[in-house]
Structure 1
Amino acid sequence: MPAAAASEPTGNAPGNGQTFLSPDQRRDAWQRLGNEQFDVIVIGGGIVGAGAALDAATRGLKVALVEARDFASGTSSRSSKMFHGGLRYLEQLEFGLVREALHERELSLTTLAPHLVKPLPFLFPLTNRWWERPYIAAGIFLYDQLGGAKSVPAQKHLTRSGALRLSPGLKRSSLVGGIRYYDTVVDDARHTMTVARTAAHYGAVVRTSTQVVALLREGDRVTGVRVRDSEDGEVTEVSGHVVVNATGVWTDEIQALSKQRGRFRVRASKGVHIVVPRDRVVSEVAIILRTEKSVLFVIPWGTHWIIGTTDTDWNLDLAHPAATKADIDYILGHVNKVLATPLTHDDIDGVYAGLRPLLAGESEETSKLSREHAVAVPSPGLVAIAGGKYTTYRVMAEDAIDAAAEFIPTRVAPSITEKVPLMGADGYFALVNQTGSVGSHYGLHPYRVRHLLDRYGSLIGEVLKLADDKPELLGPITDAPVYLKVEAAYAAAAEGALHLEDILARRMRISIEYPHRGVDCAREVAEVVAPILGWSAEDVDREVKTYQARVEAEVRSQTQPDDASADALRAAAPEARAEILEPVPLT
C-alpha cells in the first residue's frame, strides 16, 4: 500500500492539538473559549491572523484564534494568487520589502508549503527598443540577486520571435522582445486555511463564525474579548493576557471597540480580477504588463487564466466588495491592447473583488501606498498589526507576537515558524514520485492524484479515507468535474467549512472557475456535506437558496457602472451566517 493510503484521520495531534476542524471540534472549542485562560487571543482568520496563531502556538503559548466568518473570507481569498517578491516595488525603492518577500517565497517554495506554492514562469514583454531592455533587465537582475533565483531559474532575454514562441497569443506589434523570469503562484484561500489548521495542530483553539463584539477591560488594560457565535447568536467571554488585532481592512472597526485612538489607520483599496478559460489566451507562460498606474498580471490557474488587477479606493461594505462593469472594462481594455484575439465579457467565467489593507497616510493614490507592515500597541494588552503583503505573512505574525510578548507573564520563546512546515508539506515530494501507485490503490487517474497532492499534500490519505465506506465519493462533482465529491466531504469534516459558500468559494474555487459559478452543483455538494454538518432537508434548501442569491447579486453587481450601485446590489444578498453583527462597543 502506498504511504499516502496509510494515513489515518485522528482527532488529536501533538500538543493537544486538533488535526480535524470538525463539527465536534467546533463545539469543544466554544467550551474552551469560555472556560480557559489564554496567553494570546488572535482576532481575524485571514493569513496574518492565522500566521500569528501558528507563531504563538509553536512558541508554546496558549492561543485562541477567532474569526467572524470563514478562514480567508476577506482579502486572503481574493488576491492575485501570487506568493511573490513584488517586482514592481523595486521601482518604489522598497528593496528591504522585496528582499524579505523573496526570502519568504523561497521558504514556502522549498520547506513550508511546497504542495501549495508553485514556481511559475513569467514573460515581461518589452515595448521600447532602446531604453526598456536594460532598465527592466537591471530590475529583474536585482530581483534575482535579492533572492529571486535560488530555487527557480534566473532571467532569460528573448527576441520578439522568442517571446512570441512562449506567448503566441500576443500581438506581434505589441512587443519588440521580452524577458522571462520566475515567480510563484498559490491558492491563497487553501493556504490560509492550512496555516490556521496547522496552528490548531500545535494546540491553538481555532474557531470560525465567532465574532468579536467587545473588548474586555480591567482598568485601562485589555483582558480579553466578548464573542458572539455567528450561527446561533450565543455569547461568551474569552480571557487572555493579550489580544492581537489582525483583521486587515477591519482593523479600525476593532480598534474602535477599545474607545481609544489607534496608532495608524488602514485604507481599503479594491482589486478586481477576471477569470477566463485557458484556451482564450494562447501562452505557455504567465504575462506581466505595465499600466499607467501599476501592473496587470495574466496568470495560469488550472484550466483558466486569472487577469488583474485594479487599484481603487473603497469606502463601502468591507465584507462584500463589488466589482463593477467599469472595473471589468478596465481589465479587458488593458489586456486587449496586447492580445491578438481580444477578450469579451462573454469569455469571462468568473470575477472576484478583494480589498488590500494599506497603511493610510503615505499617498493619496492607493497604488503608491506602502506595502510595509506596522505593529502598534494602542492600549495595554492590545496589539494591532496591519499593512504588508500576503507573501510576508510569517514575518508579520512574528513581529505581532514579539510585541504581544510584553504582556505575557511567562518567558516567551523566539519564533520558530521558519522551521515549521505546514500540514501536508512533510512527505509531499516523495508522494509526487508515488503518484502512479497511489492512483492504482484508489482507482484514480494520475491526473486526479496530482490534483489532490497539490491541494492536500501528504494529507491525501486522510482525504481519500473518507471514501472507504462511500466509494461514490470518489466520483467527480457532476457540474464541476475538476473536483471530487470527497473533497467537499473533507472540507466539512476536517477543514472547518460550515456553509456552501465556504466550500464552493474557498475550499474549492468552483465559484470562479465555472460559468455557473457553483449554482449548478450547489445542491449536489450540499447533499454530500449534509450528514457531516447535521443539515436537515430544510437546511439544505436554505443553503442552496442563500448561495444562489449570493451569486445572482454578484453577477448583477458586475453590470453596474459604479461602486455605489454595485455595492447596493451585492449587500442586499442574504448572509450565510445569519447572526453576523456589526461590532458593538462596550458601554
Structure 2
Amino acid sequence: MNRHSQLQQLRQTEQFDLCIIGAGATGAGIAIDAVLRGLKVVIIDKNDFASQTSSKSTKLIHGGVRYLEQAVKKLDWEQYKMVRKALKEREILLKNAPHLSRPLALLTPCFSFIESIYYTIGLKMYEWIAGSQNISSSERLSKKEALELIPELKKKRLNSAVLYYDGQLDDARYCLALVQTAVEKGVLAFNYIQANKFVKNEDTGRIKTLLAQDLLTGEDIQIHAKAFINATGPFADHIRKMANSKMKPRIKVSRGAHIVLPKKFLQGDAAILVPKTDDGRVIFMIPWQDHLLVGTTDEEDQLSENPKLEDYERTYLIDYVNRYLETPVTEKDVTSGFAGQRPLLEAKLHTALDSETKSLVRDHEVEIDKRSKLVSIMGGKWTTYRLMAKDTVDMVQENVLKQSVVECTTDQQVLFGGEGYLFDDWKILVNKYNVSIEVAQHLMKKYGSNAGKVLELSNKDADLKSLLVAGHPFIKAEVVYAVRHEMACTKEDVLLRRLGLALRDADAAAKAEWYVEEVLNVEGSGDRG
C-alpha cells in the first residue's frame, strides 16, 4: 500500500485488462475477484477508499428481516431471492475476515402475545432460509428472560421478545482489507485519483482510455484498459453519462442516518431491533466498538458527496431510543453521528415504481453499454458485495473481454489480517510490548494478525504506545501505521476510516487532530502510504 511506488508502476503500464472506477466494497471486491482470475487490474477513487456508502452503513452483515417481511406480505419473489442470497453471503463475510466481523445477537421486543408469535414465525422463516448457513437458532423469550439479557429495556408494556442472530462488521476497515488483499495479489489501487473523461475509439465508440487526475499532486494520468467498470454506487449515473450522454438515470438515492451514544445506555453484547416505527421503518440499537450505534432512517434524498446528520434525524432516533430504553437519552449524550446514501436501482422501464425508497429492493444489476462497453454495477448492499463482484467479472470476461469465464474463488479468500488470526493473541501483545489489555484487544480487532506490526513501530519510539486521546484505546502508532502502510492521506482518512475514532467520539477525534496532522507532515502527506 505504497502510493508513490504504485504511481510509478501505473505510469509504466501500457494497458490493463480492467480499470475499476470506485473503491468502495463493490469496486474493491471486483478488484480481488479479477486479479484472482489472472487479470491485470487498476482501481481508482476520487476520494478515499470506502469514503462514501461503504463506511456509512449500519455495520450489519444481514439478509434483511424487513425485506423478508415485504416478500411475504407482497408475495414478492425478488425480495425473497435477495434475502436468500444475502444470508448465504453472511457466512462468507464472517469467515473471510474474522478480525473485522462477528456474529451478533439481536432482540426484538414484543408488546403483545400476538406480536411475539408473529415475529417468532417470521424469524424462524429467516432462520430456515439461511439453512446450513444459520448462525444460531432464534427463540422466543419471556419478559423475564428478555430483561436478563438486556436489563436496560423499558419494563412497562413489554410482553416478551424474540432473539435471533445476524452479523456485524467494521465496514471501513473491511473495505480497506479488500483493497489490501487486492494489492497483495498484484492490483494497483489508488485513492484521490479522479476520473475526468473517456477517450473512445473513433470507429466503434468503445472506451479505450480514461483521462484522470491525481488530486493530491495535480498530475494528469492516462489509464489504458480493455474494459472499464463503473462501481461508484450512488454516483453511478455520472460515470454512465460520461461514457454515453444518452443513457437514462437508473439510481435512486436513499438516505440513512445514525447516532452514536455512550455504552452505558446498552451495556451488554446483544442488540435491539425495533421492527416497526410509526412511519414503517426499522431501527437498530447496536453495541458497537464500546459505544451504542443507533440507526437507520430511510428516506429519499438528493445526491450529495457529503451528507450531514440533520437535527430532525438526531431527534427522531433519540425518540426511539427513549421509547425502548429505561435511562433517558438527550441530545447532549450523542457523541457522534453520520449520514450515508445508499444506491437503489430503478426499474429499466420507468412505470409503476414505488416512490418510497424503503420499499425498493436492494438487489443489483450489471449493465453493459452497447456502444461504449462501459460496465456498470448498480444497486446492491454491503452483505452482497462479493456476489456483485462475481457477477460483474463474469459479465466482463464473457461479454467485453470475450474470454472463457474463469471460476470465482473469492468465497475462499481470507482477507488481509485474517490469515492465522486468533483473538487470544492479544495476550502475546501484552507480554511482548507491555501494553494494556484494552489496547491489545482493540488492536487485534482492528488489524488482526498484523496487530504486532503496528506495535513494532514503538520499538524505535516508545511514545508511539501512548494513547492518542484519553478514554479510548487508540495509540499513536496507529496513526503512523495508517499513513505509512494504509495509504491514509488526510486527517479524515485516519480519524474517520482507518481508526474510526471520529465515528465513536467527535470531540475526542478533534483533540487528536493536531497529532494526525503532525504525522502527515512528517511522513510526506501520504507519499509513503
Residue in structure 1 matched with residue 130 of structure 2 by the alignment: 147
Q: Does 1:246 align with 2:231?
A: yes
| Cα separation, partners in 2 of 1:169 and 1:163, compared to 1, 3 Å | same
Letter in 2 for 1:349: T
Q: 2: CA distance between counterparts of 1:518 and 1:382?
A: 40
* SS at 1:391 equivalent: helix
Q: Does 1:481 align with 2:469?
A: no
Q: Say whether the 8 Å CA contact 1:381–1:404 is kept in structure 2.
A: no
Q: 1: CA distance between counterparts of 2:238 and 2:8?
A: 28
* SS at 1:88 equivalent: helix
Q: 2: CA distance between counterparts of 1:485 and 1:517?
A: 14
Letter in 2 for 1:128: S
Residue 517 of structure 1 deviates from its aligned partner by: 5.2
Residue in structure 2 matched with residue 84 of structure 1 by the alignment: 62
- 1:401-420 Cα shifts (integer Å, max 9, x gaps): 11111222554422111111
Residue 332 of structure 1 deviates from its aligned partner by: 1.4
Q: Say whether the 8 Å CA contact 2:46–2:194 is kept in structure 1.
A: yes
Residue 446 of structure 1 deviates from its aligned partner by: 3.1
| Cα separation, partners in 2 of 1:92 and 1:310, compared to 1, 3 Å | same
RMSD: 1.9
Q: Does 1:159 align with 2:151?
A: no
Q: Does 1:382 align with 2:381?
A: no
Residue 479 of structure 1 deviates from its aligned partner by: 4.3
Residue 393 of structure 1 deviates from its aligned partner by: 0.2
Residue in structure 2 matched with residue 336 of structure 1 by the alignment: 322
Q: 2: CA distance between counterparts of 1:281 and 1:37?
A: 53
Q: 1: CA distance between counterparts of 2:526 and 2:284?
A: 41
Residue in structure 1 matched with residue 444 of structure 2 by the alignment: 453
Identity %: 34
- 1:358-389 Cα shifts (integer Å, max 9, x gaps): 11243100101110101110234310011111
Q: Does 1:276 align with 2:269?
A: no
Q: 1:442 aligns with which of 433, 449, 460?
A: 433
Q: Say whether the 8 Å CA contact 1:350–1:517 is kept in structure 2.
A: no
Residue in structure 2 matched with residue 394 of structure 1 by the alignment: 386
| Cα separation, partners in 2 of 1:250 and 1:419, compared to 1, 3 Å | same
Residue in structure 2 matched with residue 224 of structure 1 by the alignment: 209
Residue in structure 1 matched with residue 290 of structure 2 by the alignment: 303
Residue 469 of structure 1 deviates from its aligned partner by: 1.3
- More deviation, 402-411/464-473: 402-411
Residue 467 of structure 1 deviates from its aligned partner by: 2.2
Letter in 2 for 1:37: Q
TM-score by length of 2: 0.92
- 1:521-563 Cα shifts (integer Å, max 9, x gaps): 1002222343223589xxxxxxxxxxxxxxxxxxxxxxxxxxx
Q: 1: CA distance between counterparts of 2:267 and 2:189?
A: 43
| Cα separation, partners in 2 of 1:495 and 1:81, compared to 1, 3 Å | same
Q: 1: CA distance between counterparts of 2:25 and 2:487?
A: 15
Residue 106 of structure 1 deviates from its aligned partner by: 0.6
TM-score by length of 1: 0.83
Q: Say whether the 8 Å CA contact 2:487–2:526 is kept in structure 1.
A: no
Residue 511 of structure 1 deviates from its aligned partner by: 1.2
Letter in 1 for 2:118: Y
Residue 452 of structure 1 deviates from its aligned partner by: 1.1
Residue in structure 2 matched with residue 285 of structure 1 by the alignment: 270
* SS at 1:483 equivalent: coil
Q: 2: CA distance between counterparts of 1:535 and 1:462?
A: 19
Q: 2: CA distance between counterparts of 1:261 and 1:127?
A: 53
Residue in structure 2 matched with residue 319 of structure 1 by the alignment: 305
Q: Say whether the 8 Å CA contact 2:88–2:133 is kept in structure 1.
A: no
Q: Say whether the 8 Å CA contact 1:41–1:224 is kept in structure 2.
A: no
Q: Say whether the 8 Å CA contact 1:223–1:381 is kept in structure 2.
A: no
Q: 2: CA distance between counterparts of 1:82 and 1:242?
A: 32
Letter in 2 for 1:257: M
| Cα separation, partners in 2 of 1:60 and 1:469, compared to 1, 3 Å | same
Q: 2: CA distance between counterparts of 1:397 and 1:408?
A: 16
Q: 2: CA distance between counterparts of 1:117 and 1:80?
A: 13
Q: 1: CA distance between counterparts of 2:521 and 2:410?
A: 36
Structure 1, unaligned runs of 5 or more: 1-20, 537-587
Q: 2: CA distance between counterparts of 1:456 and 1:515?
A: 22
Aligned length: 509
Q: 1: CA distance between counterparts of 2:453 and 2:248?
A: 45
Q: Say whether the 8 Å CA contact 1:246–1:384 is kept in structure 2.
A: yes
Q: 2: CA distance between counterparts of 1:37 and 1:389?
A: 31
Q: 1: CA distance between counterparts of 2:268 and 2:120?
A: 22
Residue in structure 1 matched with residue 75 of structure 2 by the alignment: none
